[in-house]
Amino acid sequence: GENVEQHPSTLSVQEGDSAVIKCTYSDSASNYFPWYKQELGKRPQLIIDIRSNVGEKKDQRIAVTLNKTAKHFSLHITETQPEDSAVYFCAASRAGTASKLTFGTGTRLQVTL
């Protein structure tokens, strides 16, 4: 089955700096890669996703890049703000009706003032 590894496990940045979180996956058939943000005690919320036919996707301060050959994808957050502090999870799947997500172990991002 699919295996997703995520690094780093914790990340501390100063407000305004950029943050980068990296994930690798094992199943070359995976073609859908979402990123979720989870605040303490709350539900995971989708913040951005990318499909394998695209190398990069951007939404305001958030971007995701995908390297299919190397089987890795990354989340980039620019101009970080304190409200970006949360745990971020990457995931991988074969998109389709019955698709289940395989999640990474999470990155705790702390944005300091």
Partner 1 sequence: GAGVSQSPRYKVAKRGQDVALRCDPISGHVSLFWYQQALGQGPEFLTYFQNEAQLDKSGLPSDRFFAERPEGSVSTLKIQRTQQEDSAVYLCASSFGGLDYGYTFGSGTRLTVV
Buried b (16+ CB within 10 A) or exposed e, 12-40: ebeeeeebbbbbbbeeeebbbbbbbbeee
Min dist CB 80 to partner 1, Å, is 22
CA pair distance 73, 85, nearest whole angstrom:
21
Nearer to partner 1, 33 or 84 (CB): 33
Please pick, from the candidates 44, 64, 66, 75, the single residue that binds partner 1 as defined by CB under 8 A. 44
Please pick, from the candidates 29, 40, 70, 98, the single residue that binds partner 1 as defined by CB under 8 A. 98
Q: What is the DSSP letter of 96?
A: S
| Strands of 56-59's sheet in order across | 4-7, 19-25, 72-77, 62-67, 56-59
Min dist CB 11 to partner 1, Å, is 15
Q: Indicate whether 91 belongs to the interface with partner 1 (CB under 8 A).
A: yes
| Contact positions vs partner 1 (CB under 8 A) | 4, 6, 32, 34, 42-46, 49, 89, 91, 93, 95-106
